[in-house]
Amino acid sequence: MIKEYLELQKIEGPLIVLSGVENASYDEIVEIKCGEQIKHGKVVQIYEDKAVVQVFENTAGLSVKDISVKFTGKPLEISLSKEIMGRVFNGIGEPIDDGGDIYSKIKRDVNGRPINPVARKYPRDYIQTGISAIDFLTTLIRGQKLPVFSGNGLPHNNLAAQIVKQAKISSSQNSDFAIVFAAMGVKHDDAHYFLRIFEESGVLDRVVMFLNLADDPVVERIITPRCALTAAEYLAFEENMHILVVMTDMTSYCEALREISSAREEVPGRKGYPGYLYSDLASLYERAGMMEGASGSITQIPILTMPNDDITHPIPDLTGYITEGQIVLNRDIYQRNIYPPINILPSLSRLMKDGIGEGYTREDHPDIANQMFSCYSKVQEVIALAQVIGEDELSDIDKKYLEFGREFEYRFLNQGFDENRDIEETLNLAWEVLSILPQGELDRIAPEMLKKYYRG
Amino acid sequence: MAEGVVKYINGPVIRADKMDKFKMREMVTVGPKRLIGEVISLDGQIGTIQIYEETTGLKVGDKVESTGMPLSVKLGPGIVGNIFDGIQRPLNYIFNKSGGYISEGIGLASIDLNKEWEVEIIIKNGDEVESGMFFGKVKETPLVNHYLMVPNGIRGKVIDLKPRGMYNMEETLLKIDDGKEIHEIKMYQEWPVRSPRPVNKRMPIEKPLVTGQRVVDTFFPIAKGGTAAIPGGFGTGKTMTQHQLAKWSDADIIVYIGCGERGNEMTEVLEDFPKLVDPKSNLPLMNRTILIANTSNMPVAAREASIYTGITIAEYFRDMGYHVAVMADSTSRWAEALREISGRLEEMPAEEGYPAYLPSRLAEFYERAGYVDTLSKKEGSVTIIGAVSPAGGDFSEPVTQNTKRFVSAFLGLDKKLAYARHYPAINWLSSYSGYLATLDGWYRENVDEDMMKLRGEMLKILQEESKLLEIVKLVGEDVLPDEQRLILEIAKVIKIGYLQQNAYHKEDTYVPLDKQNRMLKVINELYINSREAVKLGVPISKLRGSEVFKDVIKMKYSIPNEYKDEFKDLEEKINDYFISLKKAYEG
Ligand SMILES: Nc1ncnc2c1ncn2[C@@H]1O[C@H](COP(=O)(O)OP(=O)(O)O)[C@@H](O)[C@H]1O
Ligand SMILES: [Mg+2]
């Protein structure tokens, strides 16, 4: 069903309206030839003989005359083989390094399909990242989707890079793992930074990169994570590899979605984002996990920058409703010169419960993690009180809490970019810090554990 | 058969021409893949259809075919222990057809019609029967007797009754002669999901749904046949609470609707429930559980339908005289699905883009709960517990606000409590239950005369604490007089020792009412004694650091659910401690 049409009725931002169309199918890809250039788009609405096509590349330069349009009859597909490792693609999955095209019989629709819940395996294996705050308090599980909620100028890239460098993604000799990296609207500098990190950690030949940079076409951004996840699904569930997917910046992705939605004159939802933002994000984030019949996994670390550091903004909000927890970075903590500046209180790993404790990390892990959250939240109350009455007026016990809070931030949370702590070290450090508080305050820890580990 | 022609495609919403012979709400199939859809508006020749599958590949000119039926479910053995999509297609069937990923064009499917069940017949030829009467019984799972009922609208004399034996779904088990017509009755019946199933009459609500969760049973009880909402921002514990209720509440049947939420959460239920044992029967919980899954990445239109599929199945089991609890996680995703479809229909939006009919849809849904006298004169109930996911965690948004109008129990989850890992993060100041008065008699009769009175006193302490904390925030705790500091200490005991309940702890995950009551008494005992001690001049620091305070906080873990003398011993220990303390201070 390859036909060429010449009637372009209207160009409006990223959308073009074609008329005289026969036989167009919803969601199919079209190729638009305009002089020497070929642009791509997909059918997003059909009305009688008219098709609305969303063009991935810039529509600048397109004119109502002098173009030809080809309907491919297929949704966007990419070619897949193990050869994609070590390669760099643009935002719609075309190679942009000098390795040439990927030749393979295996082609997959980038939109993917929902995984049947009965075909999923519940993720339970813990990944050590060597970062205390994560391993101890928001433990990453293989097959989890755990985003980083950040803000402009905060070190989310460093954190993601450190996870990539240190994480034991695969238990068996780190052999059957790969990293899929999707960049949406990121600066050249940031892309280079990741490239350098991959190089330094010697994993470059195990990285698949999909790059849509800040000056690349905005609409293409909608496709980028889909290409990346399609590659990840192939490697994880057909080649049985453990895949870590880093997607950044989800905020740029959502903004692109908003731009198209407003060009389509859809009823806007909160802050102008389309009402289907939740479903759309879910169609990405849910492409993580483990499946019956395959030994691989997809672990997702999406990164987003919260506009105005506001966690109630629709992008972090809807993300948090879909992902299995979140790691939240905080500006105040960063300004105190602490890296990684993770605010543990709003941070959460929903899957850690099955991957920690006796037989996994250490018997005391669940209890002291719980205790740490509860004590650190008390620290915030004491700080608020100290701001009113002055630190000197605090009761002795409250002063202890302040001391505990400081030690927690400077000794436990704070760690070097190259510092790789194992779980034993992390747990011992946690006890050291908690032991600043009198035993009576530690009401979440079983007496046997207190007896065994408390150091006051 | 009527046939329409596709004219317009926009995601899950399509419009077709030549639709004049179709009916509103009729189920249709569309295109060569026979995608399943439902007619949602008709205007002359033009019909609008929402499609329950991905519309990728659909074309203008594709055919719309009628099925002659509204969107319905098949009700019969094979439902319990199963997991279905939003329109009652078994996910295992879909898995067998299309593998690990769900593809479109699976076609209609429902419970397995070929499976044979052993049917026990409980009527005789010549009997006069009416709608809703039981004519047979199938042991569907070790926990559930599935009663076969005369379908609605049919009454008359039984003829050609088959004997007890193994039958599949399509076999006629009996015929009913109503004088004009002879009806063939099979093991299953069909029911349109959007219509409530009839009952003989509604009955007053008088019994709690016992959940084994202290903050619910003691403080904000849910009633059998009642309604409850659990609103909360992400990560505050909606799903955990719903899972806890699905596991431990004393309903006969659980219908769990995963509506627009995570795939892994459904998988978790599928993996865990067969291993968990029901405290009453010692049989795996999956034997009474029905799952409906439209996860967040599955087609949006089926999300809208999933709620109705779930509630209809619940009503069907209610009609057998069962107490059914429906958990819907999350009703907000359902409301958003309504909004998305409404937006694509270019309807006039009301608040925050939601359609103006949102409140009436919510009301219709929650009204399907109730404690009833069934057509077969049995007592049955449907309890609805809906999670609400407010945007930005802000309860002033339309779904939370409108839900509040139609539910009687409101378990508000609190971000701050969740941040401090106080679970369940149910805020005791903003939550309420409208069932306290109606259930009072039941608690008096079945637990303890004083339980609800003690509850009131504990809540008073917590309310007082919250006022005192306002002062503490400004001046610190040290300036308060000891009576008031005691309130803070006791409130702490209530919060840590009673309200916090660890879902992952073997013993604490479920606590029988009787133990809840004993725990309340112990805390009260501690409070009364401490108050007297403070009057005698015992410093608060001495009390707070005492062994008995610690013991009371730990009793939830240290005293087993099947306790023997432990409560008595603890009470004695408290008494002894205070007697000697008082002696020291009086003397
Ligand atoms: N009763 C509980 N006991 C222990 N942990 C809980 C409890 N309730 C919630 N949690 C913790 O909170 C996390 C988030 O809860 P969840 O129910 O998934 O939140 P929501 O559905 O509101 O987003 C869980 O993963 C778990 O770690
Ligand atoms: Mg949830």
Residues with CB under 5 Å of ion ligand 2 are B 238-239
Size of interface A-B (CB pairs under 8 A): 210
Q: Is pLDDT above 60 for A132?
A: yes
**B436 lies in a domain?**
no
Q: Looking at the structure, do residues B364 and B511 belong to the same domain, yes or no?
A: no
Q: What is the mean pLDDT of residues B487-497?
A: 96
A267 vs B contacts (CB less than 8 Å): 343, 346, 349, 353
Domain boundary residue, one of B187, B221, B242: B187
**Pair type for strands B3-10 and A37-47:** antiparallel
C-beta of A331 in contact with ligand 1 (< 6 A)? no
Looking from the CA of residue B240, the nearest atom of ligand 1 is 17
User: Closest Cα of chain A to B477: distance in Å?
Assistant: 8
B91 vs A contacts (CB less than 8 Å): 116-118
Residue B587: count other Cβ atoms within 10 Å of its Cβ: 5
Give CA separation, B380 vs B199, B307, B377, in Å: 10, 20, 9
At A315-371, the pLDDT tens digits run 999 999 999 999 999 999 999 999 999 999 999 999 999 899 998 999 999 999 999
| A147 or A49: which leads in pLDDT | A147
Total residues found in chain A within this entry: 456
pTM of the model: 0.95
Q: Is pLDDT above 60 for B273?
A: yes
Q: Looking at the structure, do residues B520 and B564 belong to the same domain, yes or no?
A: yes
Q: Is pLDDT above 90 for A376?
A: yes
**B95 lies in a domain?**
no
C-beta of B69 in contact with ligand 1 (< 6 A)? no
C-beta of A444 in contact with ligand 1 (< 6 A)? no
**Taking CB atoms and an 8 Å limit, are A345 and B419 in contact across chains?**
yes
Delineate the domains of chain A, giving CATH numbers in brackets.
4-74 (2.40.30.20), 78-354 (3.40.50.12240), 365-453 (no CATH)
**B81 lies in a domain?**
no
CATH number at residue B30: 2.40.30.20
**B194 lies in a domain?**
no
Q: What is the predicted pLDDT for the residue at A1?
A: 46
Q: Looking at the structure, do residues B149 and B207 belong to the same domain, yes or no?
A: no
Q: What is the predicted pLDDT for the residue at A173?
A: 55
Percent of chain A having pLDDT more than 70?
A: 98
Write the CB contacts of A387 (distance below 8 Å, at least 6 apart in sequence): none
**Taking CB atoms and an 8 Å limit, are B295 and A447 in contact across chains?**
no
Q: Shortest CA distance to A133 belongs to which of A305, A341, A378, A325? A: A341
Looking from the CA of residue B232, the nearest atom of ligand 1 is 22
The owner of tokens 């927690």 is: A408
Q: What is the predicted pLDDT for the residue at A68?
A: 83
CA–CA dist A77, B361 (Å, integer): 40
Beta partners for residue A295, in sequence order: none
Which pLDDT band holds residue A3 (cuts at 50, 70, 90)? low
Indicate the number of domains in chain B: 4
For an interface test with A, the pick among B256, B264, B351, B480 (most A C-beta atoms closer than 10 Å) comes out as: B264
Q: Looking at the structure, do residues B163 and B270 belong to the same domain, yes or no?
A: no
Q: What is the mean pLDDT of residues A175-182?
A: 90
Q: What is the predicted pLDDT for the residue at B377?
A: 95
B300 vs A contacts (CB less than 8 Å): 276, 279
> Is A265 strand, coil or helix?
coil
C-beta of B232 in contact with ligand 1 (< 6 A)? yes
Percent of chain B having pLDDT more than 70?
A: 100
- The nearest alpha carbon in chain A to B352 belongs to A269
CA–CA dist B92, B161 (Å, integer): 34
Give CA separation, B117 vs A222, B162, B166, in Å: 50, 14, 5
Domain boundary residue, one of B187, B217, B246: B187
CA–CA dist B253, B303 (Å, integer): 22
Domain boundary residue, one of B400, B431, B462: B431
**B195 lies in a domain?**
no
CA–CA dist A254, A189 (Å, integer): 21
Q: What is the mean pLDDT of residues A113-135?
A: 95
Contact (CB, 8 A) for B197 and B369: no
Q: Shortest CA distance to B522 belongs to which of B500, B497, B487? A: B497
- Residue B474 burial by Cβ neighbours in a 10 Å radius (0-12, 13-18, 19+): exposed
Q: Is pLDDT above 70 for A175?
A: no
Beta partners for residue B157, in sequence order: B128, B177
Domain extent, residue B555, equals 451-586
Q: Looking at the structure, do residues B423 and B462 belong to the same domain, yes or no?
A: no
Q: Looking at the structure, do residues B552 and B466 belong to the same domain, yes or no?
A: yes
Which pLDDT band holds residue A172 (cuts at 50, 70, 90)? low
Contact (CB, 8 A) for B121 and B341: no
Q: What is the predicted pLDDT for the residue at A6?
A: 63
**B240 lies in a domain?**
yes
Q: Looking at the structure, do residues B313 and B392 belong to the same domain, yes or no?
A: yes
Q: Looking at the structure, do residues B162 and B218 belong to the same domain, yes or no?
A: no
The owner of tokens 């608060």 is: B540
Mean pLDDT of chain B: 95
- The nearest alpha carbon in chain B to A346 belongs to B419
C-beta of B122 in contact with ligand 1 (< 6 A)? no
Which pLDDT band holds residue B122 (cuts at 50, 70, 90)? very high
**Taking CB atoms and an 8 Å limit, are A114 and B476 in contact across chains?**
no
**Taking CB atoms and an 8 Å limit, are B234 and A24 in contact across chains?**
no
Looking from the CA of residue B424, the nearest atom of ligand 1 is 1
| A49 or A235: which leads in pLDDT | A235
**B99 lies in a domain?**
no
- Residue A421 burial by Cβ neighbours in a 10 Å radius (0-12, 13-18, 19+): buried
> Is B558 strand, coil or helix?
helix
The CA radius of gyration of chain B, in Å to the nearest whole number, is 28
C-beta of B260 in contact with ligand 1 (< 6 A)? no
Tell whether B545 is in a known binding site.
Answer: no
Q: Is pLDDT above 90 for B364?
A: yes
Q: 323-342 in B: which are within 8 Å (CB) of A?
A: 333, 336, 339-340
**B26 lies in a domain?**
yes
Q: What is the mean pLDDT of residues B121-139?
A: 96
Which pLDDT band holds residue A103 (cuts at 50, 70, 90)? very high
Query: Is residue B91 less than 8 Å (CB to CB) from chain A?
Result: yes
Q: What is the mean pLDDT of residues A27-33?
A: 90
Q: Shortest CA distance to A209 belongs to which of A192, A158, A283, A189? A: A192
**Ligand 1 centre and the CA of A434: distance in Å?**
24
User: Closest Cα of chain A to B501: distance in Å?
Assistant: 11
At A407-447, the pLDDT tens digits run 999 999 999 999 999 999 999 999 999 999 999 899 899 88
Distance in Å from the first CA to the final CA of chain A: 77
**From the list B264, B267, B420, which residue is nearest A373 (CB)?**
B420
**From the list A27, A275, A353, which residue is nearest B336 (CB)?**
A275
Tell whether B239 is in a known binding site.
Answer: yes
Q: Tell me the residue type at B95.
A: F
The owner of tokens 């979440």 is: A444
At B22-68, the pLDDT tens digits run 999 999 999 999 999 999 999 999 999 999 999 999 999 999 999 99
Q: Shortest CA distance to B495 belongs to which of B424, B567, B561? A: B424
Tell me the H-state helices in A244-297: 250-263, 277-285
Question: Per the structure block, which two tokens stand in for B384?
Answer: 């609805």
Question: B353: left (phi > 0), else alpha (psi -120 to 50), else beta?
Answer: left
Which pLDDT band holds residue B587 (cuts at 50, 70, 90)? low
Q: What is the mean pLDDT of residues A381-385?
A: 94
Q: Is pLDDT above 90 for A154?
A: yes
B234 vs A contacts (CB less than 8 Å): 317, 320-321
**Ligand 1 centre and the CA of B3: distance in Å?**
49
Q: What is the predicted pLDDT for the residue at B34?
A: 93
Which residue minimizes the CA distance to atom 10 of ligand 1?
B237
Q: Is pLDDT above 90 for B545?
A: no
**Taking CB atoms and an 8 Å limit, are A312 and B392 in contact across chains?**
yes
At B430-446, the pLDDT tens digits run 999 999 999 999 999 99
> Is B471 strand, coil or helix?
helix
Q: Looking at the structure, do residues B413 and B462 belong to the same domain, yes or no?
A: no
Tell whether B238 is in a known binding site.
Answer: yes
C-beta of B496 in contact with ligand 1 (< 6 A)? no
Q: Looking at the structure, do residues B244 and B393 belong to the same domain, yes or no?
A: yes
Q: What is the predicted pLDDT for the residue at A2?
A: 53
Residue B438 DSSP symbol: H
- Residue B549 burial by Cβ neighbours in a 10 Å radius (0-12, 13-18, 19+): buried
Q: Looking at the structure, do residues B312 and B175 belong to the same domain, yes or no?
A: no
At B205-219, the pLDDT tens digits run 999 999 999 999 999
Query: Is residue B184 less than 8 Å (CB to CB) from chain A?
Result: no
Q: Looking at the structure, do residues B212 and B314 belong to the same domain, yes or no?
A: yes
Q: Is pLDDT above 80 for A4?
A: no
